[in-house]
């Protein structure tokens, strides 16, 4: 078993099993853990192996997960399925929050959250519901413009989820640093984030604090460039009748093809950037609690 600590940072695994191609998925999984450690915190990658919920994986288990072909995408409704069928699975943002919160972890790093899809039928990611009812700090790079971003932000507001711009006033759009949409508050340091989260939860709020950090400027793909590809990928999904759980993985893979790997590079860069910030936040949170205990 991997030991948990007061500076544990949860890491999701759908990005490993469904979000990134091989072999970059395994490299990324290892790099995320390394960056968390280099910044003084303790990584815990969350997944399901042979029907068991695992909070923290060994390196051999990470490797197995990254190369597993029969692997389920695990959101909150899917845990019992994977358990009774003794399957392996990569946990989404919602799935990871569920298992991490249960294990007492308060900080989580991911790339982009799921949200409200731009499709004919209703498709709202469970990630939004998990953010509504799980008190954790979730670090992301906003949400991809494959989603309806204004509707996603409206939903988060309805569900009482503070959307924090980390050193920005705008909600970042994953590949782009800006979306033209405002956040609910701006904060500029890990300590400010921790004080904010404490204030939120001390009021009795049960929702997450969503910390949105724009990707590094050098990795940004201009909105004019990526938006055309996003439109194309969405159209192809609609024409191919792709909806439900496979929709997000399809759109991500298609974008990587259409951009000749540029979207993949941006994705990797922002994931590592988020792991670093989450580690700094976990350390600040642990320090604040130690000071309060004295
Ligand atoms: N967005 C990304 N990359 C991802 C995902 C979303 O930019 O890898 C993954 C996350 O694990 C997220 C999940 O929780 O997809 C959302 O899936 P759905 O839309 O089916 O809820
Ligand atoms: Mn969905």
Q: What are phi and psi of 212, to 5 degrees?
A: -110, 115
In a domain, 130, yes or no: yes
144 part of the active site: yes
* CA 203/CA 69 separation, integer angstroms: 45
Lowest-pLDDT range of 119-123, 188-192, 263-267, 283-287: 119-123
In a domain, 2, yes or no: no
Tokens of 153: 């932000």
Instruction: Collect contacts of 29-35 with beta carbons under 8 A, ≥24 apart.
Output: 29/62, 29/65, 29/66, 30/59, 30/62, 31/268, 31/272, 31/275, 32/109, 32/271, 32/272, 32/275, 33/62, 35/272, 35/275, 35/276, 35/279
Q: What pLDDT score does 292 carry?
A: 85
In a domain, 135, yes or no: yes
Q: Is the model's pTM score more than 0.85?
A: yes
- Indicate the pairing of strand 107-109 with strand 137-140: parallel
Q: Which atom of ligand 1 is nearest to the CA of 95?
A: 14
SS3 58: coil
- pLDDT per position as a tens digit, 223-252: 889 999 999 999 999 999 999 999 999 999
Q: What percent of the chain is modeled with pLDDT above 70?
A: 99
Q: What are phi and psi of 291, to 5 degrees?
A: -65, -40
In a domain, 1, yes or no: no
> What is the number of other CB atoms lying within 10 angstroms of the CB of residue 72?
21
Q: What percent of the chain is modeled with pLDDT above 90?
A: 93
In a domain, 3, yes or no: no
Confidence category of residue 121, pLDDT binned at 50, 70, 90: confident
| Domain, as residue range, for 154 | 8-293
Mean pLDDT for the chain overall: 96
CB 269 within 8 A of CB 255: no
Q: What pLDDT score does 27 carry?
A: 98
- pLDDT per position as a tens digit, 167-179: 999 999 999 999 9
Residue 23 burial class via C-beta count within 10 angstroms: exposed 0-12, middle 13-18, buried 19 and up: exposed
Confidence category of residue 97, pLDDT binned at 50, 70, 90: very high
Cβ–ligand 1 contact at 127 (below 6 Å): yes
* CA 283/CA 135 separation, integer angstroms: 17
Cβ–ligand 1 contact at 92 (below 6 Å): yes
Q: Which atom of ligand 1 is nearest to the CA of 14?
A: 11
Task: Please name which ligand lies nearest the alpha carbon of 142.
Answer: 1
**Is pLDDT at 1 greater than 60 in this prediction?**
no
Instruction: Count how many domains the chain has.
Output: 1
33 part of the active site: no
Query: What is the arithmetic mean of pLDDT over 260-287?
Result: 97
Cβ–ligand 1 contact at 14 (below 6 Å): yes
Among 87, 144, 170, 220, which one carries the catalytic annotation? 144
Q: Compute the distance from residue 15 Cα to the ligand 1 centre, in Å.
A: 7
């Amino acid at each position: 078993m991997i030991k948990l600590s007061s500076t544990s940072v949860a890491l999701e695994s759908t990005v490993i099993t469904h979000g990134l191609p091989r072999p970059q998925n395994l490299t990324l999984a290892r790099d995320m853990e390394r960056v968390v450690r280099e910044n003084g915190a303790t990584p815990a990658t969350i997944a399901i192996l042979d029907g068991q919920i695992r909070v923290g994986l060994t390196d051999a288990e990470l490797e197995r997960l990254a190369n597993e072909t029969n692997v389920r995408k695990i959101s909150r409704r899917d845990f019992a399925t994977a358990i009774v069928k003794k399957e392996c699975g990569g946990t989404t943002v919602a799935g990871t929050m569920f298992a991490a919160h249960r294990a007492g972890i308060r900080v989580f790093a991911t790339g982009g959250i799921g949200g409200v899809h731009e499709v004919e039928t209703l498709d709202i990611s469970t990630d939004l519901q998990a953010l509504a009812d799980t008190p954790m700090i979730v670090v992301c790079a906003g949400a991809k413009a494959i989603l309806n971003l204004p509707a996603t932000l409206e939903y988060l507001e309805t569900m009482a989820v503070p959307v924090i711009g980390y050193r920005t006033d705008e909600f970042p759009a994953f590949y782009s640093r800006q979306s033209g949409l405002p956040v609910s508050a701006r904060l500029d340091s890990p300590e400010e984030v921790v004080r904010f989260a404490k204030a939120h939860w001390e009021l009795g709020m049960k929702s997450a604090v969503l910390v949105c950090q724009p990707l590094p400027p050098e990795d940004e793909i201009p909105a004019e460039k990526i938006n055309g590809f996003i439109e194309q990928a969405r159209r192809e999904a609609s024409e191919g009748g792709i909806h439900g759980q496979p929709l997000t993985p399809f759109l991500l893979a298609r974008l990587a093809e259409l951009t000749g790997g540029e979207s993949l590079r941006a994705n990797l860069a922002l994931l590592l950037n988020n792991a670093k910030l989450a580690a700094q936040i976990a350390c600040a949170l642990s320090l604040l609690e130690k000071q309060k205990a004295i």
